[in-house]
């Protein structure tokens, strides 16, 4: 019999981050898993993604453009666990409750997705994409909601480097 659990245990999913800067100097971010785009029509918070490289937790990786995930109907983020050489994701898809009658209907009709990434591949992919964006646009693109301090690829890359250094030191 087909056993999804054992497939997941043996073969890691491949994580692919795509950051594009438009001519209007807006960052557009997509996550692809196993060569397919993750179909969530929301902004992706690169800060949460960077943090998920450094520690487990529940992260609002998908969020509203204003920075408040709840505003887009997202009240349950992505649960990230760190297990040895794997970094795993559990999330409900769609992430947003918008369009469902209530939370119960969303729970019944959404799918629980689980991915298991190779830790080194996951971190390398996220760090490389951020460093590449930093190289091209260190301070000229503002990331994050307007009400926050201006944040740029330079500060994001630094925060990820600091987080990873802390992980290694621990």
Q: Which residues of this chain interact with Zn ion, rule CB under 5 A?
A: 64, 66, 71
Using CA atoms, how far apart are residues 90 and 79, in angstroms rounded to an integer?
5
Residue closer to Zn ion (CB basis): 26 or 81: 26
Residue closer to Zn ion (CB basis): 54 or 74: 74
Residue found under tokens 């951020």: 130
**Least CB distance to Zn ion at residue 91 (A):** 19
Residue closer to Zn ion (CB basis): 9 or 66: 66
**Least CB distance to Zn ion at residue 64 (A):** 3
Q: Return the sign of the alpha-carbon dihedral for residues 157, 158, 164, 168.
A: positive
**Least CB distance to Zn ion at residue 69 (A):** 8
Q: What Rg, from alpha-carbon coordinates, does the chain have?
A: 16
Using CA atoms, how far apart are residues 80 and 55, in angstroms rounded to an integer?
8
């Amino acid at each position: 019999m087909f056993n999804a659990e054992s497939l997941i245990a043996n073969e890691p999913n491949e994580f692919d981050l795509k950051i594009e800067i438009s001519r209007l100097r807006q960052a557009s971010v997509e996550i692809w898993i196993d060569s397919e785009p993750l179909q969530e029509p929301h902004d992706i918070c690169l800060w949460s993604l960077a943090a998920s490289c450094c520690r487990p937790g529940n992260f609002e990786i998908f969020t509203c453009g204003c920075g408040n995930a709840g505003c887009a109907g997202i009240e349950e983020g992505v649960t990230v666990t760190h297990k040895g050489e794997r970094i795993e994701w559990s999330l409900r898809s769609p992430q947003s409750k918008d369009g469902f009658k209530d939370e119960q209907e969303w729970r019944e009709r959404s799918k629980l997705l689980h991915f298991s990434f190779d830790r080194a591949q996951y971190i390398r992919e996220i760090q490389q994409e951020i460093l590449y964006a930093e190289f091209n646009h260190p301070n000229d693109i503002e990331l994050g909601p307007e009400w926050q301090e201006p944040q740029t690829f330079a500060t994001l890359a630094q925060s990820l480097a600091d987080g990873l250094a802390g992980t290694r030191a621990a």
